[in-house]
Amino acid sequence: MEKDIIVMGIESSCDETSVAIVKNGREVLSNVIDTQIPIHEKYGGVVPEIASRNHIEAISRVTKKALEQAKVTFEDIDVIAPTYGPGLVGALLVGLSYAKALSFAIDKPLVGVNHIQGHIAANYITYKELEPPFICVMTSGGNTQIIHVKNYTEFEVLGKTRDDAIGEAFDKVARVVGLGYPGGPKVDKLAKEGEPNIQLPKTHFENLDFSFSGIKTAVINLNHNNPNIKKADLCASFQKTVTEILIENVEKAIEQTNIKTIALAGGVSANSYIRKEFSKLENRGIKIYMPDLKLCTDNAAMIASAGYYNYINGSRDILNLNAVPNLTF
Ligand code: KG4
């Protein structure tokens, strides 16, 4: 029997400090997440400098807790896998620098992970049987992409947003209707009380790109010009329209690649309406995978899983690995 590979994942790209211990890419031994949401809530969004400082304050404590919960020591770790981009540069640097120092101190290999690759890998933890190839619908606060996952370490972006990320649009809609930050879960909740009866614009492109700035502005204007508009209807209509936009592009991706296996990923894939509508595609012979809710938003278990696949594929980094805020595939 082959030796188990234990990976320590380290995530600090935005407002969650997270450290996880994952065995053989799929078995989570611990996944400690220290969220800064309450700190940033009063500013209506993430303040990068405050995020960096809080990561510094949290990182050692979170690491210690992750080791304790997994019942392992530094000796048992085979690989250290930090997120090195995309994300906020100051925030990324905290987790990455910590990982580099740790790799040097305990003499274990360092393997950098693309945060988006991590979101995709959240599916491997939830579904032990899932293997590439598949199409990933990556929807988060900073990204919206349709990705052809060719194998564990090879990706092709088939389409992406030309302006706002879908999560950014959710957060903005929440802010204008007075729900606060982070907006996605609040829009999701309020939409359940409303009817999707308001017509909102969709932007179409020849290829699989997205645009969410038009619909975002339409919601802002409708809310501004109609003080009596039912906020729940506005949220339900926004949610329904962006879901239709996602599904229309997924249909194009299926046509283009002939791949009928779809995996959702990223914070917005926690949305209950999006999950419900994507599930309905199963009636049309499309296989749908969705990460566990707690693995949709930022966490280090998904980073450790991606780090495992990078490692067994031969990837190694050295101590000059730098943070890359706009890292792409
Ligand atoms: O993946 P994530 O934690 O961070 C990034 O890598 O960006 O995603 C955060 C985004 C935020 O925009 C948040 O509002 C959104 O995910 N989100 C949701 C839901 N839960 C989180 N959006 C819609 N519905 C939700 N239930």
Atom index in ligand 1 nearest the CA of residue 168 equals 12
**Residue 142 CB–ligand 1 contact under 6 Å:** yes
Distance 165 CA to ligand 1 centre (A): 10
pLDDT of residue 44: 84
**Residue 90 CB–ligand 1 contact under 6 Å:** no
Q: How far apart are the C-alpha atoms of 177 and 22, rounded to whole Å?
A: 40
Q: Are 96 and 323 in contact (CB under 8 A)?
A: yes
Mutate to test the pocket of ligand 1, among 268, 294, 326 (most ligand atoms within 8 A of CB): 268
Residue-averaged pLDDT of the chain? 97
pTM summary value: 0.96
Considering the domain 132-292, what is its CATH architecture? Answer: 2-Layer Sandwich (3.30)
The dihedral sign for the CA sequence 175, 179, 182, 186: negative
Q: Are 276 and 50 in contact (CB under 8 A)?
A: no
Interval 320-328 mean pLDDT = 97
Interval 191-204 mean pLDDT = 97
**Residue 14 CB–ligand 1 contact under 6 Å:** yes
Domain boundaries, given as residue ranges, for the chain: 6-119+296-312, 132-292
Q: What is the CATH number of domain 6-119+296-312?
A: 3.30.420.40
Fold agreement between 6-119+296-312 and 132-292: yes
Interval 306-325 mean pLDDT = 98
pLDDT band for 1, please (50, 70, 90 cuts): low
List 210's β-bridge partners, or say none: 161
Tokens of 222: 């409708």
- The answer to whether residue 97 scores a pLDDT higher than 90 is yes
User: CB neighbours (10 Å) of residue 151?
Assistant: 11
> Is 140 exposed, middle or buried (CB count within 10 Å of its CB: 0-12, 13-18, 19+)?
buried
Interval 69-79 mean pLDDT = 98
Tokens of 268: 């917005």
pLDDT of residue 2: 82
**The total number of residues written for the chain in this structure:** 329
**Residue 185 CB–ligand 1 contact under 6 Å:** yes
